[in-house]
Structure 1
Amino acid sequence: MNRQRLFIISAIGLALVAAAYGFRTRNAAQEDLSVRARKVLAQTEGSLIAPGLQKEVSVLRDEWGVPHIYAETQDDLFFAQGFVAAQDRLWQMDLWRRVGEGKLAEVLGPPAIARDRFARLLRYRGDMKTEYESYAPDAKEIIEAFVRGINAYIELNKDRLPIEFQLAGFKPEPWTPEVCLTRMAGYVMTRNASNEIMRARLVREFGTEFVDEWIETDPKQKVLIPQGLDLEGLDAKILSAATLAGNPINFNPNDGSNNWVIDGSMSATGKPLLANDPHRSIALPSLRYMVHLVGPGWNVIGAGEPTLPGVAAGHNDRMGFGFTIVGIDQQDIYVEEINPGNHNEYKYRGKWEKMRVEREMIKVKGEQRPREIELRFTVHGPVIHEDRERNRVYALRWVGSEPGTAGYLASLSLNRARNWDEFQKALERWKVPSENLIYADVDGNIGWAAAGMTPIRNGWHGLMPVPGAEGRYEWQGFLPASKLPQVYNPSQHFIATANHNILPSNYQYELGYEWTMPFRFWRIKEYLTGVQKKFTISDFERLQHDESSIPARELNSLLKKIPSDKVDASMRPYFEMLTTWNCVMNKESPAAVLYQFWAGKLPSAVFRKHLPEKAWPLVAGRITLLKTIETLKTPSSRLFGAEPHTGRDKLLLSTLREAITDCRGRLGDDYSKWQWGTLHTIAFNHSLATDDNLKKLFNLPPVARGGDGNTVNNTSGPNFKQNHGASFREILDLSDWDRSVATSVPGQSGQPGSPHYSDLLPLWANGNYFPLLYSKEKVESGAKQKLILKPAKSFQWEERFRLHCYHRKLFD
């Protein structure tokens, strides 16, 4: 499955860091890098002066490195969250900041200029008061406090920076509140510009009927060529800047997550149980950071991004929540006509309109003078590509240009919801990314609501680029949150989502047409409804790690129908291995290996010869395993010949023979020694690990994995490797919050040498969890470290004044 990345520096990008700075470890023989790393670890015990605090704050870290922050004021609470996050993740946070602000070229050099330019195109340019208030009435104060905490840590440790900064040769810059409002985090999950371009290319080459057949939508929707659209010139280069910015960005709806919730009638405790495991790129450090925030009006624990205040998934004292991606279509590509005599004018509703033009300076490593870049905007949004030969530009209309669309910041309202009504009110603020948010409260209620900013397109469907000149294809506002699908206390007593099509039957509004295959959802539903029992946390732990493959079952059932005399003797041991297999993708399974090689060959074997050869590279990645299975189950003479069932069976056996040959080539002739986990591994490689000494410092050993992209335990990735899945899991017990459990990987800290750099990896790899301590009693009894952050009352007045000026410069 293709991957979307959220706001992270890719391995390629950080390899550029290494190249740019020419990381040298010639001194490693004289001084162990691990010793250097430990010397600059953050102080997590005792007391520490933190200029900017009003009162003392207690930070209790438990056995697993989760900080539980207790503050007497809201301002101090979020100051401390920023401070503590920087203690654990400053290097990661600084790089994410640079991505969002468009300042990577300062440390990467010229290769990052295009990426920086795109990030600056996406910057929010509207009214800032409206922007802040979109997230919560007090969002501005919270964000400012959070950023002051980060800056206080940077200032106090400017001479003790994490080893990554020492190796790279640059220092973190101070943060401003606007860092938390950057749009790159949300951009990569707002859908579907790439598929619009792909459809346009296919329509140009092969026509709309071809696209309707091979690029399916759900629900079914015929592709129509927008009136006035010239299909020439619509190709992948239009999104080249976007691709660089995401490195890579793919807009297919394949990011996955699972969540489900049951009410008390299905649980052993008589109260709801809620499970959530968001699926994202699994990285070192983790994309998730866990924290517990306790202060006036706050008692929330869970996981979010280290660069943002609050938590995105977790619980407060009244209710729990979790999310999966919905997949609302929040993007459109507009083809704009430009004036041949003035390329800064474009046609709109019969007139030449002036583009908004901004010029900015980009500092570039290795260059004495900053480079000037030009940013242009039409009424539809930022210009992402220009085709001067055809006198066109391409503008991106996306929800990120609207106030309140920084990813996940609406959590600041969600975290304080006390009941279903307040939960729904909070979701009115949730605009990006679009999510299926599930809910459970201590009173026994459960619910689900889709949330996200939903453009209204009257008379068109967002499946193709549209011409911008006549103003015919405009968004007609946004769908009210109350019109999005939702359920409260359903009669079936459970709710589950897994990025599949969640639209109720006869739903009258258009959200999007691209969803993830429903295999994970089907398996979750099967598990929850297949046995008459009262479920426990242990049951949910097993379900989150379930590796039963529904597509393997479907394909296996077709093999079983083939008469044994049709199977060559040389193939029969392998044939029997598959047909007697339980279709569980565990890491020790020989059959799982053979299945993976076999299933991977089927789409091409079934469809490729029936398509124009030049269409296959565009279509191949969009032909789903579900379509392949459905086609094989109901074979047609068009695809399989005059005797379609016989032709289908021959294809199944011929591809199986090829898969056997491939497996033997990779794993040897003795199939009893084949194991899925031999091939299917996950690597935890730090992107700065460019030589043996740095690899020893940063990298972690690879881990054998079970499952695949279609199992509840989603372990997807290219070339049989995992690079995607659940880096964070939570299971919430509404009968007793202290019985809730969680897991994360590889650790809370991003600093090598910290005991929490990789301590969670063994738990995660073995499917185990740790307690999500919540009550003050449990937190205090489970605390392994206690840090008291103190206000700077004992500082000399000169130092206080210097820090005051430091913050005034940032916020005024």
Structure 2
Amino acid sequence: MLIRSIVKVSPRSLWPLACIALLTASCSNAPSDLNSVAQQSLATIDGQINVKGLAQPVEVIRDQWGVPHIYAQSVEDLFFAQGYVIAQDRLWQMEWWRRDREGRLAEILGPAAVERDRLARLTKFQGPFDETEWTRYHPEAKRLMDAYVRGVNTYITDTAGNLPLEFKLTGTRPEPWTPETVVLRANQRVVGDASSELRLARSVAQLGVAEANKRAAPDPWDDLKVPEGLDVRIIGEAVLESLRGGGPGLPKPEIVEPYRNLVQRTASAGLPIDLIREIGSNNWVMSGKLTATGMPVIANDPHREVSNPSGRYLMHLHAPGWNVIGASEAPFIGIHIGHNQHLGWGLTVVGTDQADVYVEEVNPANANEVLYNGKWEPLRVVREEIKVKGEAPRQVELKFSRHGPVFHEDVENKRAYVLRSVSADPGSAWYLNSLRLAQAADCKVFLEEGMYWGTPSENLICGDVQGNIAWLAAGLAPVRSGWSGRLPVPGTGKYEWQGFRKDLPREFNPERGFVATANHNIHPKGFTPPLMYKSAQSGERIARILQVIQPGKKFSMEDQQNLQVDMYSTRAEADMPLFEGWKANDEEVESARDALLKWDRKLRKESMEAAVYIAWREAADETVRSAGTPLAARRKLAQAGLEKAIQRLKNDFGADRSQWRYGRMHTRAFPHPFVSEFDLPAVERGGGAGTVAADGASFREILDAGDWDRSMVTQVPGQSGQPGSRFYGNLLPLWAENEYFPLVFSREAVEKNAAHRLTLQPR
């Protein structure tokens, strides 16, 4: 196994990376007083803390990478401690996440956040919070969540006089958590499903069914049909705009006295850190047939937009009946991706269509009634108050039909647009069904527990210590009888969901010895109707993965790592014939053409050829890759595009080709949520769209079922969200060089790598 613990970086990069572990006055842009405020706000991670709410002592060992290993003597104490410890490192992130889900950002950010708050309130889970809701996550989910929020609330109470930096700067105070807080829904993906339907409907109105469907290029192919009773001509841009929640950006929060003069520069708050930018995830599990150890290896790199703090948090939970390690996302309870002593698992997005837009006919005589099965039905109307910083509260009216929230009202055409989403169904809070997976004893049980998975739809892979491997396309998948879900449908009663599918695709110990997914079309041959429709381009990463995983080879852990960071571009491979069969008169262009043909097609950050190719992709006429364009014409377009690309590179980076590095065009930044003084340095990256390495890889895991201590991970930028902590940005240097660190699991390995010890003592 290869885990490189020494990071090799260029001297040019050393100075910012040296500043990452501790942002002090000597190596950050922050004034010394601001650093002092940050340092004073840090949590206690050594020694002993007496806390109210525990039955017995809990030991928290943080290893040298900042991963806490929690050892408790009861399940209640374990989840109490998890809530307490995560709040130590990520309380502001948790507060931001919560306010976004509850529709309360305007309390901090002012009127610019009102529309986002209104949409959040409109689309959030309306209940009921009953046993059906709780038990889909885990038979004892309510008990676990009760303990978890008690831990969070105890930390909030104990640190009320010394909250993390961001609370001080904004004058904000966190409120107590409840189990209902934990199951707040994320609606970005289902809103995305709805937006796709509306965009396709507008395309049909403009181009006609056949041309719109041709351009959409659904995979698998579907002969698009406009639902009976739907008039696509009246679906305007305003309908789509209603789902955007006021746009992509949010203003910076106001810094309160006495800290205002300490902050020299403030950045935009942007959107909450878990807002998804889809950039592609990969996972695979190999049986012992294909691994050097003879035991399954599970690899997963869910690509999410990188952010500061990280969207994920690594943790180890140990108590009677629980021994699980890995990563979770806000609200962070349990482990969402990782392994226990029996099996390891990973996930990538399936893309199951989990939402529909219903176009309801509104009663001309009563705007709060819609037509259903030939009769007028009343809408449920809820009036709420949104508190707005610096202004009087806004009164908003939220309407709901039997199908869900009304997100747009077309007064002229007497139509109401309604979002029907699986998020309105019990047990559909993101990733919380992983509480069941965390206690699975083998891959067969894993598949059974995976059927409880709600949202988002995920390719769940599993490998266990008995040598089994498995895969399930998990997630609530609506049964649509006689319609595809690709376009909005009338809300008349003709187009209703008929429950959820039980025939989800799966595999157990396939003969080929592995399963791999990469957000591609995962439908087995003959599976109908499809769970979703992909685009043709979605198959590039899986094609490369299958190209590498060939029978007869025994893959080492280093091989697994190399595949996760593979930068070979199948797009570039397909484009290279466009540079053959001609020569340029211009010496610079000809030299670039020759270099591209000799290039290894890998998008390395130091590669000049990769820079030229990507610049060409952006500059060339889009018809250059159209199969309908004659090859000779395409080659002329390729030459013209290359000339433009060379000029752009010269304009941006100068005439010296040694400065034409792809990494200069492809960087990832890590700004603090709103204080620029605590920004972490941007880094140059290789990879990109169409490569296995893709664009993000904010987290990677490679799990060895033969010896869990050989497992390795990487995430970015660090475990702590608090500037001044040694674990704020500490993992960025490793990530910048595609390096991993051990995910230590056994008590012996944890002890060898212990950096901080904390005892939570009952009081």
State TM-score, norm by structure 2: 0.90
Asked if 1:592 is matched to 2:578, the reply is no
Distance 1:786 1:558, change over 3 A: same
Counterpart amino acid of residue 590 in structure 1: M
Q: 2:700 aligns with which of 705, 726, 729?
A: 729
Instruction: Please show how residues 287-298 of structure 1 align to structure 2 within 5 Å.
Output: 287-298=311-322
User: How far apart are 1:198 and its partner, in Å?
Assistant: 1.1
Q: 2:761 aligns with which of 775, 790, 812?
A: 790
| 2:699 and 2:713 in contact (8 A); partners too | yes
In structure 1, how many angstroms separate the alpha carbons of the residues matched to 2:102 and 2:438?
27
Residue equivalent to 2:690: 710
Counterpart amino acid of residue 314 in structure 2: M
Asked if 1:437 is matched to 2:441, the reply is no
User: How far apart are 1:271 and its partner, in Å?
Assistant: 0.6
Gaps of 5+ in 2: 1-28, 250-270
User: How far apart are 1:142 and its partner, in Å?
Assistant: 0.7
Counterpart amino acid of residue 235 in structure 1: G
Residue equivalent to 2:20: none
User: How far apart are 1:603 and its partner, in Å?
Assistant: 5.7
Cα-to-partner distance string for 1:614-650 (whole Å, 9 max, x where unaligned): xxxxxxxxxxxxxx4xx3xxx43xxx3xxx2222221
Residue equivalent to 2:411: 388
User: How far apart are 1:242 and its partner, in Å?
Assistant: 2.6
User: How far apart are 1:29 and its partner, in Å?
Assistant: 9.6
Counterpart amino acid of residue 316 in structure 2: H
In structure 1, how many angstroms separate the alpha carbons of the residues matched to 2:412 and 2:133?
38
User: How far apart are 1:519 and its partner, in Å?
Assistant: 1.4
Gaps of 5+ in 1: 1-27, 607-627, 690-694, 716-724, 793-812
In structure 1, how many angstroms separate the alpha carbons of the residues matched to 2:614 and 2:178?
48
In structure 1, how many angstroms separate the alpha carbons of the residues matched to 2:377 and 2:517?
45
In structure 2, how many angstroms separate the alpha carbons of the residues matched to 1:29 and 1:579?
48
Residue equivalent to 1:798: none
Asked if 1:651 is matched to 2:653, the reply is no
Counterpart amino acid of residue 349 in structure 1: N
- Determine helix, strand or coil for the equivalent of 1:574: helix
In structure 2, how many angstroms separate the alpha carbons of the residues matched to 1:241 and 1:414?
37
Asked if 1:201 is matched to 2:202, the reply is yes
- Determine helix, strand or coil for the equivalent of 1:357: strand
Cα-to-partner distance string for 1:566-587 (whole Å, 9 max, x where unaligned): 6654521111011111111111
In structure 2, how many angstroms separate the alpha carbons of the residues matched to 1:273 and 1:246?
42
Q: 1:526 aligns with which of 509, 528, 547?
A: 547
- Determine helix, strand or coil for the equivalent of 1:217: coil
Asked if 1:477 is matched to 2:499, the reply is yes
In structure 2, how many angstroms separate the alpha carbons of the residues matched to 1:158 and 1:673?
51
Counterpart amino acid of residue 297 in structure 2: L
Residue equivalent to 2:175: 173
Kindly report the root-mean-square deviation, in angstroms, between the aligned alpha carbons of the 2 structures: 2.0
User: How far apart are 1:81 and its partner, in Å?
Assistant: 0.5
Cα-to-partner distance string for 1:48-73 (whole Å, 9 max, x where unaligned): 01211111111000000000001111
User: How far apart are 1:123 and its partner, in Å?
Assistant: 2.4
| 2:92 and 2:166 in contact (8 A); partners too | yes
User: How far apart are 1:511 and its partner, in Å?
Assistant: 0.3
Residue equivalent to 1:547: 567
| 1:336 and 1:347 in contact (8 A); partners too | yes
Asked if 1:457 is matched to 2:480, the reply is yes
Counterpart amino acid of residue 323 in structure 1: L
- Determine helix, strand or coil for the equivalent of 1:188: helix
| 2:276 and 2:304 in contact (8 A); partners too | no
Asked if 1:773 is matched to 2:744, the reply is yes
Instruction: Please show how residues 749-764 of structure 1 align to structure 2 within 5 Å.
Output: 749-764=720-735
User: How far apart are 1:733 and its partner, in Å?
Assistant: 0.7
Runs of 4+ in structure 1 displaced over 6 angstroms?
A: 248-253
| 1:356 and 1:378 in contact (8 A); partners too | yes
User: How far apart are 1:176 and its partner, in Å?
Assistant: 1.5
Counterpart amino acid of residue 207 in structure 2: F
User: How far apart are 1:366 and its partner, in Å?
Assistant: 2.1
Residue equivalent to 1:680: 666
Cα-to-partner distance string for 1:146-181 (whole Å, 9 max, x where unaligned): 111111000000111111111111111111111111
Distance 1:253 1:159, change over 3 A: closer
- Determine helix, strand or coil for the equivalent of 2:151: helix
Residue equivalent to 1:612: none
In structure 2, how many angstroms separate the alpha carbons of the residues matched to 1:392 and 1:133?
38
In structure 2, how many angstroms separate the alpha carbons of the residues matched to 1:508 and 1:88?
46
Q: 2:578 aligns with which of 558, 571, 584?
A: 558
Asked if 1:147 is matched to 2:168, the reply is no
In structure 1, how many angstroms separate the alpha carbons of the residues matched to 2:396 and 2:204?
35
Residue equivalent to 2:47: 46
Residue equivalent to 1:663: 649
User: How far apart are 1:362 and its partner, in Å?
Assistant: 2.1
In structure 1, how many angstroms separate the alpha carbons of the residues matched to 2:248 and 2:192?
16
Residue equivalent to 2:421: 398
Residue equivalent to 2:336: 312
- Determine helix, strand or coil for the equivalent of 1:315: strand
In structure 2, how many angstroms separate the alpha carbons of the residues matched to 1:232 and 1:344?
24
Residue equivalent to 2:125: 124
Cα-to-partner distance string for 1:209-256 (whole Å, 9 max, x where unaligned): 211221111111122111111223313322334312783799999441
Asked if 1:466 is matched to 2:466, the reply is no
Residue equivalent to 1:183: 185
Paired positions, count: 710
User: How far apart are 1:30 and its partner, in Å?
Assistant: 8.1
In structure 2, how many angstroms separate the alpha carbons of the residues matched to 1:236 and 1:528?
45
Residue equivalent to 2:538: 517
Instruction: Please show how residues 262-273 of structure 1 align to structure 2 within 5 Å.
Output: 262-273=286-297
Distance 1:198 1:251, change over 3 A: farther
User: How far apart are 1:601 and its partner, in Å?
Assistant: 3.5
- Determine helix, strand or coil for the equivalent of 2:419: strand
Distance 1:672 1:107, change over 3 A: closer
User: How far apart are 1:316 and its partner, in Å?
Assistant: 0.2
Between stretches 110-119 and 385-394, larger displacement belongs to 110-119
| 1:266 and 1:493 in contact (8 A); partners too | yes
| 1:448 and 1:486 in contact (8 A); partners too | yes
Identity of aligned residues (%): 47
Distance 1:382 1:61, change over 3 A: same
Between stretches 33-42 and 228-237, larger displacement belongs to 228-237
- Determine helix, strand or coil for the equivalent of 1:140: helix
In structure 1, how many angstroms separate the alpha carbons of the residues matched to 2:233 and 2:411?
13
In structure 1, how many angstroms separate the alpha carbons of the residues matched to 2:585 and 2:32?
63
Q: 2:436 aligns with which of 395, 413, 416?
A: 413
- Determine helix, strand or coil for the equivalent of 1:756: coil
In structure 2, how many angstroms separate the alpha carbons of the residues matched to 1:201 and 1:508?
27
Asked if 1:64 is matched to 2:65, the reply is yes
Higher helix share: 1
Distance 1:778 1:30, change over 3 A: closer
Asked if 1:573 is matched to 2:573, the reply is no
In structure 2, how many angstroms separate the alpha carbons of the residues matched to 1:246 and 1:739?
45
| 2:278 and 2:305 in contact (8 A); partners too | no
| 1:190 and 1:329 in contact (8 A); partners too | no
- Determine helix, strand or coil for the equivalent of 2:480: coil
In structure 1, how many angstroms separate the alpha carbons of the residues matched to 2:401 and 2:556?
55
Distance 1:299 1:142, change over 3 A: same
In structure 1, how many angstroms separate the alpha carbons of the residues matched to 2:192 and 2:228?
23
User: How far apart are 1:126 and its partner, in Å?
Assistant: 3.3
Instruction: Please show how residues 27-426 of structure 1 align to structure 2 within 5 Å.
Output: 32-129=33-130, 130-184=132-186, 186-188=187-189, 191-244=192-245, 247=248, 254-367=278-391, 370-426=393-449
In structure 2, how many angstroms separate the alpha carbons of the residues matched to 1:563 and 1:365?
63
User: How far apart are 1:334 and its partner, in Å?
Assistant: 0.8
| 1:134 and 1:403 in contact (8 A); partners too | yes
Cα-to-partner distance string for 1:343-398 (whole Å, 9 max, x where unaligned): 11111111110011122222222235x43322111111100011111111100011
Distance 1:360 1:576, change over 3 A: same
Counterpart amino acid of residue 302 in structure 1: G
- Determine helix, strand or coil for the equivalent of 1:459: coil
